[in-house]
Amino acid sequence: MLKGDLTTRTKTYQSEAVIESLIRVLGFSTIGFVVLIFLFLLRQGMPFFFQVPWANFLGTRWYPTFGLFGTLPLILGSILVTLTAIVIALPLGLATAVFVREVAPNWAREVLKPLIEVLAGIPSVVLGFFGMNIVAPLVRTTLDVPTGLTAFTGAIILAYMALPTIVSVAEDALDAVPKSYRDAGLALGATKWQVIWRVVVPAARSGIVVAVMLGLGRAIGETMAVMMVTGNAARMPLTLDSLFRPVRTMTATIAAEMGEVAQGSVHFQALFGIGIILFVLTFLINLAAARPIFQKRRRGGLR
Our CB check for another protein shows the closer of 63 and 197 to be 197
By CB under 8 A, the count of residues binding another protein is 21
Among 180, 265, 280, 290, binds another protein (CB under 8 A): 180
Neighbours of 198 (CB within 10 A): 12
Minimum distance from residue 209 beta carbon to another protein (Å): 14
Any contact of residue 191 with another protein (CB under 8 A)? yes
104 near another protein (CB under 8 A): no
CA distances from 284 to 32, 217, 221, 278, 288 (A): 20, 9, 13, 10, 6
Question: Each residue of 122-151: b (16+ CB within 10 Å) or e?
Answer: eebeebbebbbeebbeebbeeeebeebbbb
Q: Decide: is 293 part of the binding site for another protein (CB under 8 A).
A: no
Least distance CB 245 / another protein (angstroms): 43
Sole binder of another protein in the list 15, 194, 265, 295 (CB under 8 A) = 194
Rule CB under 8 A: is residue 141 a binding residue for another protein? no
| Closest to another protein by CB, 49 or 181 | 181
Q: Determine, following the binding rule CB under 8 A, whether residue 178 of this chain makes contact with another protein.
A: yes
From the list 115-123, 180-188, 225-233, 263-271, the region that binds another protein by CB under 8 A is 180-188
Q: Does 20 bind another protein (CB under 8 A)?
A: no
Q: Is 295 in the site for another protein (CB under 8 A)?
A: no
- Applying CB under 8 A, among 21, 22, 27, 198 the residue interacting with another protein is 198
Question: Which member of 37, 188, 280, 284 binds another protein (CB under 8 A)?
Answer: 188
**Residues in 202-221 at the binding interface with another protein, rule: CB under 8 A:** 202-203
Point out which residues bind another protein (CB under 8 A): 178, 180-191, 194, 198-199, 202-203, 301-303
